[in-house]
Amino acid sequence: MKEFHGITASPGIAVGKAYIFKEENISVPKYDISPKEVENELKRFINAVENATEEIEILKTRMKDSMGDDERNLLDSHIMMINDPELKNQVDAELRAQKKNVEWILIQVIEQIVEKLKTSNDDYLKERSVDMKDVSKRILNQLLYHKGQSLSGLKEPVIVVAHNLMPSDLIGMKRNMVLAIATDAGGKTSHTAILARSLEIPAVLGLMDVSRYVKNGDELIVDGNKGSVILEPDKKTKSVYITTQKRWKKHELELLQLNKLEAETRDGKLINLEANIEIPEEVESALKHGADGIGLFRSEFLFIQPNRFPTEEEQFRAYRYVLERMKNKPVTIRTLDLGGDKSLYGFNELDEKNPILGWRAIRFCLSRPDIFKVQLRALLRASVYGNLKIMFPMISGKEEVEHSLELYDIAKKELEAEGVPYKRDIPVGIMIEIPSAALTSDVLAKEVDFFSIGTNDLIQYTIAVDRGNERITYLYEPFHPGVLKLIQLTIENGHKQGIPVGMCGEMASDPLATTILLGMGLDEFSMSPISIPEVKRIIRSVTLLEAEEVVGAIMEMDSYAGITKYIKDWMGKKFEFEEN
């Protein structure tokens, strides 16, 4: 048994046999042609373009009943790219200049175009470089009479393993034959990931080298919720996953029933159940799972590109998209939380000895107002398109709130002077994820409009346990009395000052914690969209009074082991709760 970890690109769990999808290295010949042959080579190119277009048209017809708008639009855009007169002009000019065969010329021209797209400042154009390669492969296959490996002929359900997948590979595939996808390459914002989500196929990308280890027919588990892939699982692991998979499918069914219902306790307290998202496209999943809003948009994922930060315009477009898609539901966008465990940015300045305690999140932003202000301006500009809330991460005390608000004021004044509209009443809140902030939450509550408790970090800093270190995970305990006291104190202090208190750390999605958090008076729970139905089910099954009694009992206890046992027993009696 071997486990791989990658990026959770599309949720869901699959158990099945591997199918290795190899990206072929088509060998392209290179030879000289005479001036007389130029016209003939150009004709070959035009024919190949026609045939490639027809191939896509056939695909569109074959898939017409099962294809959504995303896929149709993608195929249409590929037809446009193949038939772009500029592509033909470039091939024509290079043929005349270089006098080489057209396959070779095409590769050169495509490389130039891809390079141009890749270095563009526009994210949309950057992503088109993948499509461009995809499109060129189709033309090349036609020129070489090469029938590429395709996922359209799959005869049995499989887990597709590849170094990389092109968007068109996914569109052409028999989707009921693809249980899941696992690739070495790819990120959350790649087209492949977006399509996997929209096709609802569990997918883990960015696994680095999974395709080197897996052979055709090997048994695999793909956990798109956790971002892991297990090769040749042992019996026990497989049976745990089969149970988890069943539970997941049950969730999906519940989802359909619970979607339209409110998250309301049996005695009538309404709770806001919101979604955490990392990229704008995830709003679709939030809406599908009935989220009342976005409780945390981790904006730093827009910043994942080597050595460059997104421009104000790029950020503005992403924020506006989310706000518009959520209509008037609240959207809490957290300002940049760079650094710490999020070290994948290729940003050398953040190479620190002790990054978890280092120059990260709001500390970084306050010392780089040039970068911070760009984000604040983008947020303010986007605010007129929906119901925006702005949240600052990693606040440790009052000075940082004041300093952040000063820069926020400057950004507002700049826009004012430029005559750019923005909403005047945007709620501004902070994350409570450092013990000093929780302990001074009475003071901080006077400065801001809401709190959101970030338990992922709060647990890490309270218990001094690195959240990413697998050797000490046994210490990472949400039910540690020290953590629970800080959460309770934060909620009480927020309420005393009349501001709502939410939670966007993973604890908010833990079904074992739901009743405790309800009983403490938490107003908003924010979590990955797929977790919403289960938490909603629990909220709808308990009364506030019951939950308060549970809190009364556990806050008398002195160990996380005791508290965990108590809540498991309580839940077991109430819900016939299945343990993992």
Give catalytic residues, as residue numbers: 191, 504
**Looking at beta carbons only, is 388 or 453 nearer to Mg ion?**
453
Asked whether position 457 contacts Mg ion by CB under 5 A, the answer is yes
The Cα–Cα gap between 42 and 46 comes to 6
* Tokens coding 398: 């009052």
Looking at 120, 150, 259, 456, which residue binds ligand PEP (CB under 6 A)? 456
- Contact map string, positions 492 to 511, toward ligand PEP, x by CB under 6 A: ------------xx------
**Looking at beta carbons only, is 177 or 366 nearer to ligand PEP?**
366
What is the footprint of ligand PEP within residues 459-478 (CB under 6 A)?
none
What is the footprint of ligand PEP within residues 101-140 (CB under 6 A)?
none
What is the footprint of ligand PEP within residues 271-310 (CB under 6 A)?
296, 298
Burial bucket for residue 209 (CB in 10 Å: 0-12, 13-18, 19+): exposed
Check if the beta carbon of residue 494 is closer than 8 Å to that of residue 522. no
Asked whether position 53 contacts ligand PEP by CB under 6 A, the answer is no
Cβ count within 10 A of residue 481: 17
Task: Choose the contact partner of 455 out of ligand PEP, Mg ion, none; CB within 5 to 8 A by kind.
Answer: ligand PEP
Check if the beta carbon of residue 9 is closer than 8 Å to that of residue 226. no
The site for ligand PEP, by CB under 6 A, has a size of: 10
Asked whether position 337 contacts ligand PEP by CB under 6 A, the answer is yes
Task: Choose the contact partner of 494 out of Mg ion, ligand PEP, none; CB within 5 to 8 A by kind.
Answer: none
Continuous segment of H or E residues that includes residue 286: helix 283-288
What is the footprint of Mg ion within residues 382-441 (CB under 5 A)?
433
**Looking at beta carbons only, is 151 or 431 nearer to Mg ion?**
431
The Cα–Cα gap between 153 and 201 comes to 18
Residue 24 region by backbone torsions, left for phi larger than 0, else alpha for psi between -120 and 50, else beta:
beta
Asked whether position 227 contacts ligand PEP by CB under 6 A, the answer is no
The Cα–Cα gap between 394 and 374 comes to 19
In the block, residue with structure tokens 């997918």? 203
Pairing of strands 228-231, 272-277: unpaired
- Contact map string, positions 422 to 451, toward ligand PEP, x by CB under 6 A: -----------x------------------
Cβ count within 10 A of residue 81: 18
Residue at 298: amino acid letter: R
Check if the beta carbon of residue 294 is closer than 8 Å to that of residue 327. no
Least CB distance to ligand PEP at residue 296 (A)? 6
Asked whether position 455 contacts ligand PEP by CB under 6 A, the answer is yes
Q: Which stretch binds ligand PEP (CB under 6 A): 152-160, 365-373, 452-460, 557-565?
A: 452-460
Asked whether position 454 contacts ligand PEP by CB under 6 A, the answer is yes
Asked whether position 339 contacts Mg ion by CB under 5 A, the answer is no
Check if the beta carbon of residue 139 is closer than 8 Å to that of residue 52. yes
Q: What is the DSSP letter of 206?
A: -
Tell me the C-alpha to C-alpha distance, in Å, between residue 165 and each of 185, 221, 492: 8, 19, 50
The site for Mg ion, by CB under 5 A, has a size of: 3
Helix/strand/coil for 389: strand
The residues of the shown chain that bind Mg ion, judged by CB under 5 A, are 433, 454, 457
The residues of the shown chain that bind ligand PEP, judged by CB under 6 A, are 296, 298, 337, 433, 454-457, 504-505
